[in-house]
Structure 1
Amino acid sequence: MAKRNGSSTLSENVTKKLRSDILAGQYEPGSPLTVSELAKGFDVSVAVVREALTRLATQGLVLQNPNYGFSVKTASEEELNNIIQARSLNESEALRLSIAHGDLTWESNVIALHHKLSQTPEFKESNQKLAVREEWSCIHRQFHYELIAACPNPVLLDICRRLWDLSEFYRHYSPPQQQVRDGRAEHKALTDAVLGRDSDRAVEIFKAHIRLTADILFDNR
């Protein structure tokens, strides 16, 4: 039992690291994920890596082909539009429920995370190109999670978080967007609407916020 638990922990750690790297844009869409190379890099067995990749495949971030092994998911405008539509339906409802049920502690958490997000630089220079900072991405995710955290439906929250991961994959695949949008202003307007308990306004801003990301991505390819 101890050995299985140890293997499971290793697999979870590798899953988290690979998931983070994929969402951070460390791998190009469609690029192969060679089990033996990853096992060597993580200093674990191929079985551990294969289990991690299989988990990521169930999350939609990795493709599994019996003949060609594993690869990073590909990107398509059709899929992104489907993700945006699904987020608009599910996350909008979670946001409405969160606004209806959120208490003062929830409001305080939203305020704190928005402040932290607004004070954290979004981009860094990497290989003479702009790249999204991992610290900002983490806070950005926490901020959006907190907006819907007071939603009392755990099934809906799980759906929203899965859709967020797929959407995040595309956001990192997108070119830097600071020249064509004011993300801080968008987050500020969304926070104000949420704290003002204006569900209709909050949902309107949220939908425009995620739609703009998709529009920018495919306008700049």
Structure 2
Amino acid sequence: MSFATEASRAIRSTFVLWIIGAIIYPFAMMILGQIVFPSQANGSLIKDSRGQVIGSALIGQPFTSDRYFNSRPSTTSYSTADPQKDEAGVLKTGVSGASNLAPSNIALLERIQGKDDPDPSKRLEGDFNRLKTAGIQPTADLVYTSGSSLDPHITPEAAKAQIARITKTRGVSPQQLETLINQNTDSRFLGIFGEPGVNVLQLNLAIDHFQSTGR
């Protein structure tokens, strides 16, 4: 068999495989995703009562109000920081990632434990004391950031630790809040992988819905 014949066959085979792998297969997966898993294929978007997209079930958002369950800390402010005012440089290398600070790092210790200084303007209240002052028993995920800093979940324990504060600000009973927490807790994947987690955005939406409808 001549070299030209072999080369022609190789070129045709490469072209056919390219058509299958680069065009047919991706489009088939896109169509299948839209039919079988439309929500997941479109980003697991969450909409409010008016049908407006307000976030994704996969990406966390910052919540700091006493009326809502607070999210865990984020080194990237959940990618909501203004790139024009990024003094800390958290967005220079992207919108996802951990701080990679060692447990002995002074910046991490000051954020968690606080900083005492004779100059009041330089004092810093640590997250641990801030939570205690708010009547919240600090848990690991309310103090430390996640590996991506975009984690939409907190542990059920972290959510329940905030019940007293939200009961005080909203007037909702602890039993009602605990029911909402249980309803918005994602179980382990396939029942064995990972740990249960409470989606903070969905839980806060559930609280607003509960108070607006009374159920």
Instruction: Assess same fold via TM > 0.5.
Output: no
Instruction: Name the TM-score, length of structure 1 as normaliser.
Output: 0.27
Higher normalized helix content (fraction of residues): 1
**Larger radius of gyration between Structure 1 and Structure 2:** 2
Pick 1 or 2: higher relative contact order, CA cutoff 8 A, min separation 6. Answer: 1
TM-score, normalising length: structure 2 = 0.27
